[in-house]
Chains A and B, each alone.
Chain A
Amino acid sequence: MSPITRRRLIRGGVAAVAAAGGVAIADRMAKRYGLIPPDSGGIYGPGETLTYACQRLLNVRTPAREFPRSMISEKPFANEAYPPGDEFKKLLAGGFKDWRLVVDGTVAHPMSLSLADLKTLPVRSQITEVACEEGWSYIAEWIGTPLGAVLREAGVLPQSRYVAYFSVDKVIWDSMDMADAWDAHTLLTMGMNDGDLPVGHGGPLRLRLPRQLGYKSVKYVNRITVTDNIKKFGKGKGSVSPDFGYAWYAGM
């Protein structure tokens, strides 16, 4: 072992001060540009924050990958969903005519839209991949109204930071930042492969978020809440996923 010399001590001190300063600056930048995920606490917080911050800096404006029609999967796999209750069964029996999507929170005009209302807004289709955190995936064509079109109608207030979205089952909910919310590929999906969206795939309304893994694409969505403070929802970690042990950000 070499002895601790004065030069070493000074050099170490300068490095420590520089590192602390760097961390402080990074922290301020991260807060200002929204680079810290809601589940940034705990032992996995540093890794999550690095991942989310890097991805956010990389892909604010890059669209999700789209695929040619020839790559659409013949037999898409419908993962089991959290069983929707009696309310859902009643709506299903009525052909989802009474399905309502509530849009509220920090918006100028809170709304309640039927599926027919949604279809009067611009509708687009896109061929994107569903990739599950388990490892499997498939490609399908998805047809629906971009979330951005609904948000424009509702008039998002400037302080808004996140969009929370809820499943009719009252258990599953999630949220995304505004970069994902305004992305043209973030789709309130009503159709799949030239038909109505099957119940197994989240019909009548699934929020598709193709730049993140499948569990962020919540099925049976009936409420969207724009907010300036995601900590007010659930346990304050941005979605129900951290309650089950999963990360809020699922772009990895």
Chain B
Amino acid sequence: MPAASSVQEKAKTARHAGVVRATHWLTFVAFMALLVTGGEIVISHPRFYWGEVGNVNMKPLFVLPIPASRDTVPTAYHYVMPDQNGWSRYLHFEAAWVAVLTGLVYGIYGLVSGHFRKNMIPERRDWSFGAYWARITRYLRRAPPDRAEETSYNVLQRSAYLVVIFVLFPLIIWTGLAMSPAFTASFPWTAALLGGRQSARTIHFFVSWLLLFFLIVHVIMVARSGFRRRMRSMITGYSRGSEEGQ
């Protein structure tokens, strides 16, 4: 499956900068902690609402078909899940701090070093539907990665990464803070702009699914283009173009 296309590149080529690798893996660890604890917190009230308020006496927007960890929430199940909210909340916020501070370092580095400009914003010649379409059909044909992809991201990767970094992550931080009674005391518009505190919770839930969807596709893509080689370049910073991936 992997390409043996760049045989002439025997030498190691620099692939990912140290800051990119460190922040990548820190974000991964923090995100996994946030995902697990976030799911745990949802179980205590698997009902979602729109607007400022919502509770079991109100009509929900939708209900997850899962049991709850509190007996005050009516579900279709005749048992109550163990309640793990205490440490889940502690860990959720600690992991959120790791993610936010890591994101801050990455964001500043990306701006100062030109990482965003050089590696993330699609190249000028790719600013067309045609370029996107060509890349999509390559994926659909399951074509092996081309030479340029050994040292750079293609236009679909760049777009996906930009959406994750500049849309999904800011949105999940914003919606998270908009649930805080102390934060919204200081900045009431953070909840009001989203339609209220319960709307923020609902959006937070969907954005976390989008981030999980990104993670799954990301890992599948890494696996398909040579899991060990891609992992090595994200850990050591170098890729060896001539080596077999799997």
Residues of A participating in the B interface, judged by any CB pair closer than 8 Å: 1, 43-44, 46-48, 50-51, 55, 58-59, 62-65, 67, 71, 73-77, 79-80, 129, 131-139, 210-213, 244-247, 251-252
Contacts and interface: CB of A to CB of B under 8 A. Distances in A.
B89 A55 contact: no
The 5 closest A-B pairs by CB, nearest first: A245-B86, A47-B94, A251-B182, A135-B45, A44-B90
B183 interface: yes
A58 B30 CA distance: 25
Contact of B183 (A48, A55, A133, A210): A55
A235 to B, nearest CB: 14
B85 interface: yes
Given A58-B186, A71-B52, A134-B70, A44 B94 contact: yes
Contacts of B182: 55, 58-59, 211-212, 251-252
B85 A133 contact: yes
A47 B91 CA distance: 8
A211 B89 CA distance: 17
16 contacts: A44-B90, A44-B91, A47-B96, A47-B97, A48-B90, A58-B186, A59-B186, A65-B184, A65-B191, A75-B57, A129-B181, A135-B201, A137-B53, A211-B185, A212-B181, A247-B86
B198 interface: yes
Interface string B174-213: 0000011111111010010000011001000000000000
B87 A245 contact: yes
A185 B201 CA distance: 24
B41 interface: yes
B236 interface: yes
A139 B53 contact: yes
Given A51-B97, A75-B58, A136-B45, A246 B85 contact: yes
B55 interface: yes
A55 B44 CA distance: 25
Contacts of A137: 52-55, 197-198
Contacts of B87: 44, 245
Nearest to A180: B182
Contacts of A76: 55, 57
A117 to B, nearest CB: 30
Given A75-B58, A136-B56, A138-B53, A48 B185 contact: no
A251 B41 contact: no
A80 B71 CA distance: 10
B116 interface: no
Given A62-B186, A129-B52, A137-B198, A211 B181 contact: yes
A138 to B, nearest CB: 5
B72 interface: yes
A77 B57 contact: yes
B52 to A, nearest CB: 6
Given A47-B96, A48-B94, 13 more contacts: A46-B97, A62-B186, A64-B185, A71-B52, A73-B57, A75-B57, A132-B45, A134-B45, A135-B201, A137-B55, A212-B182, A213-B181, A252-B179
B22 interface: no
A12 to B, nearest CB: 12
B63 to A, nearest CB: 12
A50 B98 CA distance: 11
A54 to B, nearest CB: 9
Contact of B93 (A139, A245, A252): A252
A52 B97 CA distance: 12
Contacts of A132: 45
B42 interface: yes
Contact of A251 (B47, B52, B53, B183): B183
Contacts of A213: 181
Nearest to A140: B53
Given A210-B181, A213-B181, A67 B186 contact: no
A134 B53 contact: no
Interface string B34-45: 000000011011
A216 B198 CA distance: 20
Nearest to A50: B97
B93 A47 contact: yes
A245 B84 CA distance: 9
B15 to A, nearest CB: 14
Contacts of A58: 182-183, 186
A210 B188 CA distance: 14
Interface string B81-108: 0000111011101111100000000000
